[in-house]
Chain A
């Protein structure tokens, strides 16, 4: 078994050049005051990145909420993040969505585009290709609602930018596992 090279010092751990990757963790947590702070505080204290974060109560009776957190890091950093999350007393389950072939990730975005003439027509045409919904229209603007994998939202936003994108609101990533089993 060959192990990856060690950094020279613990102080150099942060300066490692090992390739970073995105990872999405879904957490089932006790729905209690401060639980989000525990998770966010852990990321802040240990210097982990948060790319996006969503949280909402999912089962009132069982007092549970679901947090989906997208982070970035080298492979061993992601392993540490998972182990550190498992340690939090208020965290019931940790699921690595990215490494689960059955993991599904979705995001919702609201996109406001301002424009007139051919650009306005083009924006509407592109939105149809992406199956976005128009939820507000004025004579010089649209608000689109689009859902999909984060990459699809990114593409949509990139296309809308030159067409007059003025405002963007994204939910952050939500996740679930395909199949009949619950988390």
Chain B
């Protein structure tokens, strides 16, 4: 390459002021406060890895790189790190397959609004478009699955782009931002600028402050409600711990019950009497019935996902709906609302509290008492009950015991995707935000183990457990090696029923018990697998031994794979059948009828 930009500067003074592109990347990460990143080296990122090596030699591990075993693992680990800290997750991968392997994690972060910055190597600019070795059109491929992305072709743009990437990833509705870095740009020299020195090139300016008039109207609507309900989501978690505090305070002022989506668990404490549990397809009877019968719904940072709403034309038919969301396009997307407020969940909740006080509003206690009496009748249904067994471990029992034995510890829970994920959401009771990491929107099997690794790196002294299924865990099992390498004592608690349980459940209920390709055949011996990786393996199939073995797992100082052999045929209930409304939930004892409850139209839904 004879590019003038790469020519070494003539005098030493100039050279001091300039950095290579690769050095700028490391410098920008440090300036952005990044402490940990997840990655995998390759040809197109070697200069960055070299700059990292030299930075670590010079400054110690101020920027720690975690070597994963597959780029998908890097992206999920960054998600787990981000979700458990509120800080952006950072991924560094090479061109071509490095980038394409990371894509599942990038889409996952987009769907669940996780702040993430992905740095990908690219072939040198003069080779772009020639089908060079390990070339892929990374910005083209990821345009639809990032919040924003960049291809940096000029070293002069690099400092601005790097800082913009962090700004965009972490502000507004968070999401993944990808920066594609051709190898020649990594070698080029240029003048570095810090986060406060660069001038952003975009007009991007998300609105965080809600409209005061609408907030005042919302406060009055809530005060006059006879049967209000808070329906909260991941937006409350993303808005930071202050948002969760404001939610708790405002819920207490209004006397309204609180339910939450899968993504929002922990924003409101499960121990609070106003907590109704999760809503939606596998949510609680009381949460779904309260949603159906409420007269004022306050949706905060949730997006009326199809898993939450059930049948849309029968969704909470008699309520006035208030929707607070930082993303204007979420409002009126699936469900038309009466009062949309665009803004940050924390900011709007704080303003609602202020407005409530300013207007001297009080809740209608008499009506609320009646509302709570009604809710109690739904609670009495005890929708999460399940048959106990002395012979086999019920999966619900396994999660319940896991919760009881870890609730007084500093615990973080991740999951894979499927039945075990729903049981974890139903039976593990979260009291604080950022403690629960799960793949909600995309539903990515293989998320839980790398996410646990990311959470464990952020919280080295804490107990991090991946509640898994035997099928899902095999999708990113290679990250066991990462956990062992970095002494990360993550616990993988597999609810092993030898089936892709949720697939099996749907086949049982909707496809005439034709179990097509859903049996987990040829399973590895998970205890030996753990040992092969240098970790500890535990197996339990006897309910009587469950507690002791869970304690053994918790007390082990290193990573553990716990093969919990559970009841094979257990179904995840209660359930809103496909195509049905919130008040048409199926309870455990009604299961036999389920096939007849779901009609042909429902069968065609996902």
Docked-complex contact A8 and B148, CB < 8 angstroms: no
Measured CA separation A80–B143 after assembly (Å)? 19
Q: Which residues of B contact A38 (CB under 8 A)?
A: 143
Docked-complex contact B204 and A6, CB < 8 angstroms: no
Q: Give the contact stretch, choosing among A65-73, A84-92, A96-104, A164-172.
A: A84-92
Docked-complex contact A80 and B333, CB < 8 angstroms: yes
Measured CA separation A79–B482 after assembly (Å)? 46
Given the contacts A79-B332, A92-B203, A41 and B311 also touching, CB distance less than 8 Å: no
- Determine which of A3, A45, A92 lies in contact with B338 in the assembled complex, contact meaning CB atoms within 8 Å: A3
Docked-complex contact B329 and A87, CB < 8 angstroms: yes
Given the contacts A33-B151, A37-B140, A6 and B313 also touching, CB distance less than 8 Å: yes
Q: How far is the CB of A1 from chain B (nearest CB, A)?
A: 6
Q: Which residues of A contact B334 (CB under 8 A)?
A: 10, 13
Assess whether B27 is interfacial by the CB under 8 Å rule.
no
Measured CB to CB, the nearest residue on chain B to A11 is: B605
Docked-complex contact B201 and A8, CB < 8 angstroms: no
Measured CA separation A86–B205 after assembly (Å)? 11
Assess whether B315 is interfacial by the CB under 8 Å rule.
yes
Interface centre among A9, A63, A79 (most CB of B within 10 A): A9
Docked-complex contact B313 and A8, CB < 8 angstroms: yes
Assess whether A4 is interfacial by the CB under 8 Å rule.
yes
Interface centre among B148, B312, B327 (most CB of A within 10 A): B312
Assess whether A5 is interfacial by the CB under 8 Å rule.
yes
- Determine which of B201, B309, B579 lies in contact with A30 in the assembled complex, contact meaning CB atoms within 8 Å: B201
Docked-complex contact A89 and B306, CB < 8 angstroms: no
Size of chain A's interface in residues, with CB distance under 8 A?
A: 32
Q: Which residues of A contact B328 (CB under 8 A)?
A: 83, 86-87
Q: How far is the CB of A69 from chain B (nearest CB, A)?
A: 16
Measured CA separation A38–B148 after assembly (Å)? 9
Given the contacts A11-B306, A34-B143, A84 and B311 also touching, CB distance less than 8 Å: no
Docked-complex contact B329 and A86, CB < 8 angstroms: yes
Measured CA separation A13–B417 after assembly (Å)? 27
Docked-complex contact A41 and B204, CB < 8 angstroms: no
Measured CA separation A87–B168 after assembly (Å)? 11
Q: How far is the CB of A42 from chain B (nearest CB, A)?
A: 8
Q: How far is the CB of A86 from chain B (nearest CB, A)?
A: 6
Q: How many A-B residue pairs have CB under 8 A?
A: 74
Q: Which residues of A contact B338 (CB under 8 A)?
A: 1, 3
Q: How far is the CB of B198 from chain A (nearest CB, A)?
A: 16
Q: Which residues of A contact B314 (CB under 8 A)?
A: 8
Q: How far is the CB of B171 from chain A (nearest CB, A)?
A: 11
Docked-complex contact B605 and A9, CB < 8 angstroms: yes
What DSSP secondary structure best describes chain B's contact surface?
loop
Docked-complex contact A8 and B329, CB < 8 angstroms: no
Q: Which residues of B contact A41 (CB under 8 A)?
A: 143-144
Q: Which residues of A contact B333 (CB under 8 A)?
A: 80
Given the contacts A34-B143, A45-B144, A87 and B327 also touching, CB distance less than 8 Å: yes
Assess whether B126 is interfacial by the CB under 8 Å rule.
no
Q: How far is the CB of B189 from chain A (nearest CB, A)?
A: 23
Assess whether A7 is interfacial by the CB under 8 Å rule.
yes
Q: How far is the CB of B497 from chain A (nearest CB, A)?
A: 29
Docked-complex contact B202 and A76, CB < 8 angstroms: no
Q: Which residues of A contact B579 (CB under 8 A)?
A: 8-9
Measured CA separation A63–B312 after assembly (Å)? 44
Interface residues of B in 495-517 (CB under 8 A from A): none
Interface residues of B in 135-191 (CB under 8 A from A): 139-140, 143-144, 147-148, 151, 168
Docked-complex contact A83 and B329, CB < 8 angstroms: yes
Interface residues of B in 312-341 (CB under 8 A from A): 312-315, 327-329, 331-336, 338
Interface residues of B in 201-245 (CB under 8 A from A): 201-204
Q: Which residues of A contact B143 (CB under 8 A)?
A: 34, 37-38, 41
Given the contacts A33-B151, A79-B332, A89 and B202 also touching, CB distance less than 8 Å: yes
Measured CB to CB, the nearest residue on chain B to A88 is: B148
Q: Which residues of A contact B315 (CB under 8 A)?
A: 6
Measured CA separation A33–B204 after assembly (Å)? 17
Measured CB to CB, the nearest residue on chain B to A83 is: B329
Q: Which residues of B contact A11 (CB under 8 A)?
A: 306, 604-606
Docked-complex contact A89 and B336, CB < 8 angstroms: no
Given the contacts A13-B334, A86-B329, A89-B147, A6 and B312 also touching, CB distance less than 8 Å: yes
- 8 residue pairs from A and B, CB less than 8 Å apart: A3-B338, A8-B312, A10-B334, A34-B143, A80-B329, A83-B328, A86-B329, A90-B148
A-B residue pairs, 9 tightest by C-beta: A83-B329, A92-B203, A89-B148, A10-B306, A6-B313, A8-B313, A6-B312, A83-B328, A3-B336
A binding-site residues for B, Cβ under 8 Å: 1, 3-13, 30, 33-34, 37-38, 41, 45, 63, 76, 79-80, 83-84, 86-87, 89-93
* Given A8-B312, A30-B201, 13 new contacts (CB under 8 A): A4-B336, A7-B312, A33-B151, A34-B139, A37-B143, A41-B144, A80-B329, A84-B329, A86-B328, A87-B328, A89-B202, A92-B202, A92-B203
